[in-house]
Amino acid sequence: MVITSEIMDRLVEKNPGEAEFHQAVHEVLTSIEPVLERHPKYVKAKIVERIVEPERQIIFRVPWQDDTGEVQINRGFRVEFSSAIGPYKGGLRFHPTVNLGIIKFLGFEQILKNALTGLAMGGGKGGSDFDPKGKSDDEVMRFCQSFMTELVRHIGADTDVPAGDIGVGGREIGFLFGQYKRIKNVFEGVLTGKGLNWGGSLVRTEATGYGVIYFLEEMLKSKGETIEGKTAVSSGSGNASIYTVEKCQQLGAKVVGMSDSNGYVHDPEGIRLDTVRRIKEIERGRIKEYVEEHPHATYHEGWKGIWSLKVDIALPNATENEIGREEAELLVKNGVIAVAEGANMPSTPEAIEVFLENGVLFGPAKAANAGGVAVSGLEMAQNSQRVAWTFEEADEKLKGIMHHIYTTASEAAEEYGAPGNLVVGANVGGFLKVADAMLDQGLV
């Protein structure tokens, strides 16, 4: 379609060097072409041109001192992408690979993901090239305090509500919240993923992973299948991966592999999650330590090797572009039947093509991993009402939201001529909701 390819060309020209942002936008533009053809009102109002331009981008210096007293400088980001359907909402990523293009890809995905949840949340993302790995708790605290000293002026419970992502978990959210409160003198739900004794929601820690599996259940159900008795692998060994594996095991699957950025563990008897949790959540160690305790398991250097394991279900839960064409072809050759993405954009466009061409059930990130931000939305709701729901209440709501997302995506795919293609369905379903809100609100 001429319009979308012109928009894409302009975007690449205006935002050079932001490969991941280009990739995320390209997929969405390709998916929504039939929507634009059927509804010229979106073209006339230049909804697409507007939605790919962040409402606001903030880049700032984050100076802090390490334990030796040496001054360190990092770069901080917050991209407030869209407030069409609610306050900006999305995580913070602390990882040395963070740059503006990465934050924009994540922020752009977040707009449509958040819309799919059915909750009132706009899209945003932030972070820093700070590497928490190997830092002491004190160093992480000083960094977080400096980061928040700038961020504080841009966020608020009804303006912009950050949360965690890679490298940002409960510890970091605590330090960030403490500094926000100290500067603003307001105790409000400005961050999600808070501690349970100071405004956090039950199920938020588990939400991304559990949501991935609830979504996977929906996909399998459409083919008369269940999770029970299947084999699976889950890449990464952080928040998304751990709780994906926990729910997968609860539902009767055998998970035979997990990884980190150095390598992967293969445990043919099934991963012992208590060991992984101790290593990763308490000791902040490496996945290779797993085999010291379980000598029947094997450790292999190199994180991509995990996709060579023969399994029914693949659960990418580490990072973007971790499954390329080669890995996808290997998974298909080994008989994979379903892929549900917990990480953001973990499959390259070529890998997605391989899955779809081979009839693999494919749950794209912005649908399959929306459980995390969905329970963040529930945390915001509880904070506003000053109430706390039980684990069962929050979990039931999460299940309901994942069912709603699956239904929205599969119906949109059907309606726009791509039955079964949840990539198209998720993009169209999310886009329509945001686009209609933008039309209602005039030229903003």
Question: Quick one: what does residue 192 bind among ligand NDP, ligand 2IT, none, with the CB cut-off 5 to 8 Å set by partner type?
Answer: ligand 2IT
Question: Quick one: what does residue 237 bind among ligand 2IT, ligand NDP, none, with the CB cut-off 5 to 8 Å set by partner type?
Answer: ligand NDP
Nearer to ligand NDP, 363 or 372 (CB): 372
**Distance spanning both ends of the chain, measured CA to CA:** 26
Using CB under 6 A as the binding rule, whether residue 309 contacts ligand NDP is answered as no
Among 74, 239, 347, 383, binds ligand NDP (CB under 6 A): 239
SS (H, E, C) 51-91: HCCCCEEEEEEEEEECCCCCEEEEEEEEEEEECCCCCEEEE
Question: Quick one: what does residue 90 bind among ligand 2IT, ligand NDP, none, with the CB cut-off 5 to 8 Å set by partner type?
Answer: ligand 2IT
Q: Which of 89, 104, 113, 125 is catalytic?
A: 125
Using CB under 6 A as the binding rule, whether residue 104 contacts ligand 2IT is answered as no
Closest CA to 72 of 135, 148, 149, 164: 135
Tell the smallest beta-carbon distance from residue 124 to ligand 2IT (Å): 8
Nearer to ligand NDP, 162 or 425 (CB): 162
Nearer to ligand NDP, 126 or 167 (CB): 167
125 catalytic residue (yes or no) = yes
Which residues lie across from 57 on neighbouring strands?
Answer: 79
Tell the smallest beta-carbon distance from residue 89 to ligand 2IT (Å): 5
Name the residue number minimizing CB distance to ligand NDP.
238
Among 343, 351, 360, 435, binds ligand NDP (CB under 6 A): 343
x/- mask, ligand 2IT, residues 56-95, rule CB under 6 A, reads ---------------------------------xxx----
Q: Give me the amino acid identity at 392.
A: E
Using CB under 6 A as the binding rule, whether residue 236 contacts ligand NDP is answered as yes
Using CB under 6 A as the binding rule, whether residue 206 contacts ligand NDP is answered as no
Closest CA to 143 of 153, 129, 161: 129
**Region 366-405 residues binding ligand 2IT, contact defined as CB under 6 A:** 372-373, 376
Binding site for ligand 2IT (CB under 6 A): 89-91, 110, 113, 163, 165, 192, 344, 372-373, 376
Residues with catalytic annotation? 125
Binding site for ligand NDP (CB under 6 A): 164-167, 169, 208, 236-241, 260-262, 303, 317-319, 342-344, 369, 372
